[in-house]
């Protein structure tokens, strides 16, 4: 499913226009993004939790040349699915 599919699904499930459904989805994604930028997590009970994690710097290898390279530390977004989502998929 991509964003257009999600907009169509929300519009048909709620009776909103596609424009309003797209605005609602965009607002939700913006709110989650802003929360993660501030270092906070976003929890949706039953669905899952979006959070921020720090990856440590490490050494790696260039697969083409075999040369050792340094991979810098960085901040990444994580998602942990909730029980209801896990059960629905399983």
Residue 70 is predicted with a pLDDT of 96
Residue 89 is predicted with a pLDDT of 94
Distance CA 82, CA 76 (A): 19
Question: Does residue 66 share a domain with residue 78?
Answer: yes
Distance CA 74, CA 86 (A): 28
Residue 67 is predicted with a pLDDT of 95
Q: 0.85 exceeded by the pTM?
A: no
Residue 60 is predicted with a pLDDT of 96
Closest by CA to 39, choosing from 71, 76, 81, is 76
Tell me the residue range of the domain where 3 lies: 1-40
Question: Does residue 47 share a domain with residue 35?
Answer: no
Structural domain count, the chain: 2
Q: What token pair was written down for 80?
A: 């942990």
Question: Does residue 57 share a domain with residue 88?
Answer: yes
44-66 as b/e: b if 16+ CB within 10 A: eeeebebbeeeeeeeeeeeeeee
**Average pLDDT by stretches of 10, the chain with 90 residues:** 95 95 96 95 95 96 94 96 95
Spatial CB neighbours of 80, under 8 Å, sequence gap ≥ 6: 48, 49, 51
């Amino acid at each position: 499913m991509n964003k257009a599919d999600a907009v169509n699904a929300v519009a048909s499930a709620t009776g909103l226009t596609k424009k309003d459904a797209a605005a609602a989805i965009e607002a939700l994604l913006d709110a989650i993004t802003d929360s993660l930028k501030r270092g906070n997590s976003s929890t949706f009970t039953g669905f899952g939790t979006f959070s921020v994690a720090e990856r440590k710097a490490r050494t790696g290898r260039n697969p083409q040349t075999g040369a050792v390279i340094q991979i810098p530390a960085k901040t990444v977004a994580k998602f942990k699915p909730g029980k209801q989502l896990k059960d629905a998929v399983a």
